[in-house]
Structure 1
Amino acid sequence: MASSRKHIVIAPFYGFGCLLPAMELGRKLANSSCRVTIIVSSATNKNGFEQKVLPLNGANFLDNIVFQMPSTTSNSATLLMDASRASSPAMAKQLRFMENVTTNRREIGDCLQTLIKEEGVDAVISECLWGGDIVELATRQSVPAYYFCSTSMADLLIIGAITPETVRSDPMNGSLFTELPPRGKSLERVPFMFQEVFLSAQRGLQFVKGIVINSVREVDSELVPLLEFYPLFKHIPLWFVGPLLAGDDDLPSEIAVAQAGSVNANANKQLLVLGWAPQTTILAHPAVAVFVSHCGWNSTLEAMTYGVPVVTWPFTSDQQRNAQLLADLGMAIPLPDVSNHDDSRVVYSRELVNAVNTVAGWTGAKSYWEAAGKWKAIVESARRPGGSSYQESLDFLASIFL
């Protein structure tokens, strides 16, 4: 007898920063009486998915969700995007990225086709970075499709602003992730590796019933009106359901105890280097004074959720933009002159010490702590019954069950 529960398929992007919130979204759907399948691409599995990611969510998580590993039939050596022929290391990196996207997108599409045919699927939630192919496939099979934006909604502005005429730049142009597109204007330049990704995502907008965003509406309040300047987004519902934090509220106790033991055993040391640590548990601890962060989107949300001021140290892609957001919110200070893709920049200990002392309020005003506390209260309010994220999560679920 077929199950009466809705079968939801989630296709997260292969980076762990995208996968973790997708898994948390899957957990919430499973807790709402849905049957959830998460398609894990071969690139994700090669990066250590089973060893690094699954333990974050505990045994109970696995009881409710099926992880589908697509069969790999593509031969990357036959692809036109051959990284071995790249003219520079930067171009080789971009070609490898495009190769991963192309190969894994095909794998996910084949896997989804099989699931629709053999098991039946009631809705598909695809990371917008996979582009339009997956949501188009679902829609043409009469399966409702949604985009999932695991990162800041600023990426949606890029999807709206890119055009086929946007000039491809090489090497990678970090400004794509540091400067928002001019209001209602098209992008002038885009890194080679992202042009096809964002153009494909733009094409997929015609097939989606809505976009699920891993953020809080109050955090992105200044960005939401900017989407109105891009007609493709008109009449597409946006549901802010974040923050979707891995391990939030239900971190396996044995992991927390093991890490606590490590800390106790090294109580007299000033620096701990751990292979892995439960970041949400650490940030929630009242002894934490400062968070030195690369400013991935998950870490950015975690800093706001737990009200911890930040010293920002971004390295690549959207991290620079996220760092600027935290600074604009008044809860962070950047390390000076740290920019995307600048491997030559040396950060000296005195710079880090000065930044930490300033943010912690040990050498002056407590303004960074006060701002962090303000945003903690805003996020807490959004997650409570009646709050924006709580209500928009219910609205999204209602669209699934219609």
Structure 2
Amino acid sequence: MTHAELIFIPSPGMGHLVSMVEMAKLLVDRDPRLSITVVIMKLLFDSDADSYTTSLATTGAAARIRFVHLPRGNTNTLISSGNFRTHFIESNKPHIKQVVAELADSASSTRQLAGFVLDMFCTTMIDLADEFGVPSYIFFTSSAACLGMMLHLQSLQDEHRMDITEFNDTAGELDFPSFTNPLPAKVLPSVVLMKEAVRPFLEHTRRMRATKGIVVNTFEELEPHAIRSLAGLGAPVIYPVGPILNLKGETKMKANSGADDIMEWLNGQLPSSVVFLCFGSMGSFGEDQVKEMASALERSGHRFLWSLRRPPPKGKVEIPHDYMDPAEVLPKGFLDRTAGIGKVIGWAPQVAVLAHPAIGGFVSHCGWNSTLESIWFGVTMATWPLYAEQQLNAFELVVELRLATEIRMDYRRDFKMETNVVMADEIEGAIKKLMEEVNGERKRKVEEVSEKSRNALVEGGSSYLSLSRFIEDILNNMP
């Protein structure tokens, strides 16, 4: 039996790595003819990739998935520049070429290089796949609606000669084929509104069109309109195979993370009584905003579990850390006054928390992985996006799909742009709305979509069948 060897190249960062590895596990579990080499590029401040891949070595799939860790990249380039990621990935090309060359040399009559599966930001590696004479596929870690947005913007720029960054000054709404509702310009990702960043960003989109196919971490029942719209936007074959989630354990269950303590506290709460606030691995807020959030939580009267992280020093891109003592940024006496109803924590075991029956609502940054997890567990969200495409996700959740309530859809806190502080009244109102409609229409809708997300993955489900088509195409397109 000939083994088809795939090269997986995730973008640096745990959010991209974890979903891509889960995808690799799905593939090798489904078909014994597939083997996968995951090549990992690491930023200096990203310390979790090593422990994460080590933890996978004990799983059953490990026999046909291997990890190659590249040397940590030099991140002296101005990290806040819009082109940082592009330069960093490009600088790793020679290392990756060497890894693949060694693999190709060692391939035997039973193992054959079958193709590259590239993260949406690694399209420069298509050149390497071409050099080795194998096809490229894209793994798109966000929504089908986001992919549609990128394809549409790229054609506006290339075919209609529009300056996309001018949308930054637009207060109005825009028509995008992947959305049924007009899209407010204010929810476009920052990267398309910045002159130095928009070109490399849309270059990825241009290159995606030339691949054999795009695997999207979504499912047909969640985004039927967006998925249908992609063919008309000139996309190659689309494989919706989601939700691809890491449900079997957190990526960094540290001994000192207090996970047991968190779960014990939740065990003592009534069903659907707790609002969970968590903003992803890169999410944090300044002190003024933290005080408004604290005031809102206290006044709302609802039970809460709040993952509060310390922002990195200004101008530095680092993963936020836990506070030694959160009292230093919280209003005086807040922890004492709320001791009976709330718990302030650092890092949170998000999957375990969302799965807990005590959770009634989730105040989220709307990262796509978190969005899919929340849907999977049937937890209604309140949107508080921070960076990347999260504003777009928030719009899709609130307006398109009506699965979430809004704190803000256009809040942003990234390298170049920061929105004003959201005041306590606004946050309090949204939390009350979120928690007081536990048996309402939105909650019923989320539970319905939750069931569909599970059905999509089982034998005969839409994502199951889509993955089968993808495997078939890999084997048919082998050189």
Q: TM-score, normalised by structure 1?
A: 0.80
How far the C-alpha of 1:369 sits from its partner, in A, is 1.0
Partner of 2:287: none
Q: Which amino acid aligns with 1:305?
A: W
Partner of 1:88: none
Cα distance 1:259–1:202, how it changes in 2: closer, same or farther (>3 A)? Answer: same
Q: Which amino acid aligns with 1:67?
A: F
Quote the RMSD (CA, aligned, Å). Answer: 3.6
Q: How far apart, in 2, do the equivalents of 1:190 and 1:240 lie?
A: 28
Which residue, out of 138, 145, 149, partners 1:154? 145
Q: Please, which runs of 5 or more residues in structure 1 have no aligned partner?
A: 85-91
Answer whether contact 1:331 1:372 (CA < 8 A) is retained.
yes
Answer whether contact 2:140 2:217 (CA < 8 A) is retained.
yes
Partner of 1:108: 96
Partner of 1:47: 46
Answer whether contact 1:309 1:359 (CA < 8 A) is retained.
yes
- Higher deviation after alignment, 302-311 or 193-202: 193-202
How far the C-alpha of 1:370 sits from its partner, in A, is 1.2
Q: Deviations over 1:140-197 (max 9, x none)?
A: 4222321111111234321354145453649x9599xx9664689xx99653224223
- Higher deviation after alignment, 368-377 or 140-149: 140-149
How far the C-alpha of 1:100 sits from its partner, in A, is 2.2
Structure 2 SS opposite 1:346 = coil
Partner of 2:232: 229
Q: How far apart, in 2, do the equivalents of 1:203 and 1:149 lie?
A: 13
Answer whether contact 2:381 2:404 (CA < 8 A) is retained.
yes
Structure 2 SS opposite 1:10 = strand
Structure 1 SS opposite 2:348 = coil
Q: How does 1:40-79 map to 2 (within 5 A)?
A: 40-43=40-43, 46-50=45-49, 53-54=52-53, 59-60=58-59, 62-71=62-71
Q: Does 1:334 align with 2:334?
A: no
Partner of 2:116: 124
How far the C-alpha of 1:355 sits from its partner, in A, is 1.4
Answer whether contact 1:36 1:65 (CA < 8 A) is retained.
yes
Structure 2 SS opposite 1:316 = coil
Q: Does 1:143 align with 2:143?
A: no
How far the C-alpha of 1:384 sits from its partner, in A, is 2.2
Q: How far apart, in 2, do the equivalents of 1:6 and 1:160 lie?
A: 34
Q: How far apart, in 2, do the equivalents of 1:355 and 1:114 lie?
A: 55
Q: How far apart, in 2, do the equivalents of 1:20 and 1:254 lie?
A: 12
Cα distance 1:111–1:148, how it changes in 2: closer, same or farther (>3 A)? Answer: same
Structure 2 SS opposite 1:347 = coil
Q: Does 1:283 align with 2:354?
A: yes
How far the C-alpha of 1:310 sits from its partner, in A, is 0.4
How far the C-alpha of 1:106 sits from its partner, in A, is 5.1
Count of residues paired in the alignment: 374
Which structure has the highest helix share of the two?
A: 1
Cα distance 1:221–1:253, how it changes in 2: closer, same or farther (>3 A)? Answer: closer
Structure 2 SS opposite 1:193 = helix
Q: How far apart, in 1, do the equivalents of 2:445 and 2:241 lie?
A: 22
Partner of 1:83: 78
Q: How far apart, in 2, do the equivalents of 1:101 and 1:174 lie?
A: 31
Q: How far apart, in 2, do the equivalents of 1:125 and 1:146 lie?
A: 5
Answer whether contact 1:359 1:369 (CA < 8 A) is retained.
no
Q: TM-score, normalised by structure 2?
A: 0.68
Q: How far apart, in 1, do the equivalents of 2:115 and 2:222 lie?
A: 28
Partner of 1:295: 366
Answer whether contact 2:398 2:406 (CA < 8 A) is retained.
yes
Q: Which amino acid aligns with 1:39?
A: V
Q: Does 1:211 align with 2:201?
A: no
Partner of 1:376: 450
Q: Does 1:318 align with 2:386?
A: no
Q: How far apart, in 1, do the equivalents of 2:99 and 2:429 lie?
A: 51
Q: How far apart, in 1, do the equivalents of 2:176 and 2:251 lie?
A: 44
Q: How far apart, in 1, do the equivalents of 2:66 and 2:340 lie?
A: 42
Answer whether contact 1:168 1:195 (CA < 8 A) is retained.
no
Partner of 1:93: 81
Q: Which amino acid aligns with 2:66?
A: V
Q: How far apart, in 2, do the equivalents of 1:371 and 1:174 lie?
A: 35
Q: Deviations over 1:110-132 (max 9, x none)?
A: 5334433444522211112212x
Structure 1 SS opposite 2:426 = helix
- Higher deviation after alignment, 190-199 or 15-24: 190-199
Q: Does 1:386 align with 2:460?
A: yes
Q: How far apart, in 1, do the equivalents of 2:409 and 2:82 lie?
A: 25
How far the C-alpha of 1:346 sits from its partner, in A, is 1.9
Which structure has the highest strand share of the two?
A: 2
Cα distance 1:365–1:198, how it changes in 2: closer, same or farther (>3 A)? Answer: same
Answer whether contact 2:14 2:49 (CA < 8 A) is retained.
no
Q: Which amino acid aligns with 1:332?
A: A
Partner of 1:353: 428
How far the C-alpha of 1:229 sits from its partner, in A, is 3.1
Q: How far apart, in 2, do the equivalents of 1:371 and 1:96 lie?
A: 40
Structure with higher RCO (Cα < 8 A, 6+ apart):
2
Structure 1 SS opposite 2:215 = strand
Partner of 1:89: none
Structure 1 SS opposite 2:219 = coil
